[in-house]
Amino acid sequence: MSGTTPTEQSSGSVLNRLFGWIDGSLVSLCLASLVVVVAGGLVQVSFGAFSMTIGEAWRAVFDPAVIFDPQVWQVFLLGGELPDLSRRTLIVWNIRLPRVFVAALVGANLAISGAIFQAVTRNELASPFILGVSSGAGLLILLTLVVFSGLAAYLPLLAALGGMFAFVLVYLIAWKNGTSPVRLVLAGVIVGTVFQSLQTGLFFFVDDIGVVQSAIAWTTGSLTGTDWEQVRMALPWSIIAIGLALGSSRQLNVLLLGEQTARSLGMSIEKVRFALSGVAVLAAAASIAVAGIVGFVGLVVPHLVRNVVGSDYKRLVVGCLFAGPALMVAADVGARLALNPIQLPVGVVTGLVGGPYFLYLMRKQQNIGEV
């Protein structure tokens, strides 16, 4: 005779459906990523133009006047005038920590965007950059700085619009009685190549060295000068994109089974593919709008997470949500401190990490590409 009641069995079944997909590898990955983010954040707040000891910086991070004051958080998240705070606390919370928060948001968005694009195209080398999203954003940034300088205040919004326009163009080029993963990737390469060529050509029309430096910072990816305004700009769109990605894990898993299997299960392939691509574009645009074009995060992170937790998108999306910020915060620490006092664009560091990593994969694996 069973020792459990029907109610207990029903509760256990519900819990298993809700949390049964969580395993030790995912928990370990998330905890390790959190450690990297916290350690990287503490390193970031400990160094800067204003001199303070590591102990003073860390005490400022955990200042009760900030952590337990709802008014301060309201100002951070909604804008307004901060109440009186100590000088060190103000520097840490108003200048240094926002850079860490922006890095975490950018890393999470790019990782999730890359993971979705890899499912849509069934190719683990797909990313916002392969599919032209970044090139479209970069082209509109350069056009704004070089030709329409009066619109520079709207640069983040224009970057997002440029990325969205590029992907719609890719989708239209790839359409032929529907799309296919191969046609999407090829169309993305075509659009990206054309837009990058136009970007290079625009540099020949720039006379102001300051405009050139600003354009390079945007097109290589940089977190220099970010503050709570960038956090407020990226946070709402990040929450929407992450929520939609988490809720779409079943559809992403079905896409991996192939088009014939997906259709046999009743899925409308083109509608789902376009909708999921829209989520990926939204996540990438939220990142590009505040940090410019940061390369390789959308490629490297999903692949690393897949090696740890497997290909189930319930686990993969959650893993990317933690591992993306870890990679981005660590890369920004390197960008800021490697050549101190000179600060490198964070996109340079992610490129230096991502390039050799994929060369290693190419040498190690014969069948790299298909998910």
Is the model more confident about 241 or about 3?
241
**Residue 323 maps to a domain:** yes
Q: Region 204-210: what's the mean pLDDT?
A: 77
- pLDDT value at 16 more than 60: no
**Residue 301 maps to a domain:** yes
**Residue 371 maps to a domain:** no
Supply the pLDDT for residue 4.
Answer: 63
The structure tokens 């230096």 sit at: 352
**Residue 46 maps to a domain:** yes
Supply the pLDDT for residue 2.
Answer: 53
Mean pLDDT (the chain, rounded): 85
Q: Region 79-96: what's the mean pLDDT?
A: 87
Backbone phi, psi, residue 370, to 5° = -80, 130
**Residue 8 maps to a domain:** no
- pLDDT value at 82 more than 90: no
Supply the pLDDT for residue 26.
Answer: 92
**Residue 6 maps to a domain:** no
* pLDDT band at 79; cut points 50, 70, 90: confident
Structural domain total, the chain: 1
Supply the pLDDT for residue 313.
Answer: 92
Distance between CA atoms of 268 and 55, rounded to whole angstroms? 57
Inter-residue contact 315 to 302 (CB < 8 Å): no
Supply the pLDDT for residue 7.
Answer: 62
Supply the pLDDT for residue 113.
Answer: 94
**Residue 59 maps to a domain:** yes
pLDDT in tens, 138-193: 888 788 877 887 777 777 678 778 888 998 899 889 888 777 777 888 888 899 99
* pLDDT band at 21; cut points 50, 70, 90: low
Supply the pLDDT for residue 13.
Answer: 57
Q: Region 232-260: what's the mean pLDDT?
A: 90
Least confident of 105-114, 340-349, 352-361: 352-361
Supply the pLDDT for residue 10.
Answer: 58
Selection from 205, 196, 314, 166 nearest residue 252 by Cα: 314
- pLDDT value at 6 more than 70: no
Q: With helix as H, strand as E and coil as C, how does the chain read?
A: CCCCCHHHHHHHHHHHHHHCCCCHHHHHHHHHHHHHHHHHHHHHHHCCCCCCCHHHHHHHHCCHHHHCCHHHHHHHHHCCCCCCCCHHHHHHHHHHHHHHHHHHHHHHHHHHHHHHHHHHHCECCCCCCCCCHHHHHHHHHHHHHHCCHHHHHHHHHHHHHHHHHHHHHHHHHHCCCCCCHHHHHHHHHHHHHHHHHHHHHHHHHCCCHHHHHHHHHHHHCCCCCCCHHHHHHHHHHHHHHHHHHHHCHHHHHHHHCCHHHHHHCCCCHHHHHHHHHHHHHHHHHHHHHHHCCCCCHHHHHHHHHHHHHCCCHHHHHHHHHHHHHHHHHHHHHHHHHCECCECCCHHHHHHHHHHHHHHHHHHHCCCCCEC
Selection from 289, 177, 272 nearest residue 233 by Cα: 289
Choose from 95-109, 166-180, 327-341 the range with maximum mean pLDDT.
Answer: 95-109
Q: Provide the CATH number for the domain around residue 306.
A: 1.10.3470.10
Which range marks the domain in which residue 70 is found?
Answer: 23-364
Supply the pLDDT for residue 9.
Answer: 56
* pLDDT band at 370; cut points 50, 70, 90: low
- pLDDT value at 300 more than 80: yes
Count of alpha carbons within 13 angstroms of residue 319, beta-carbon side: 31
Supply the pLDDT for residue 259.
Answer: 80
Inter-residue contact 76 to 228 (CB < 8 Å): yes
Q: Region 308-328: what's the mean pLDDT?
A: 94
> What pTM, to 2 d.p., does this model score?
0.88
- pLDDT value at 321 more than 60: yes
Any bridge partners for residue 85, and if so which?
none
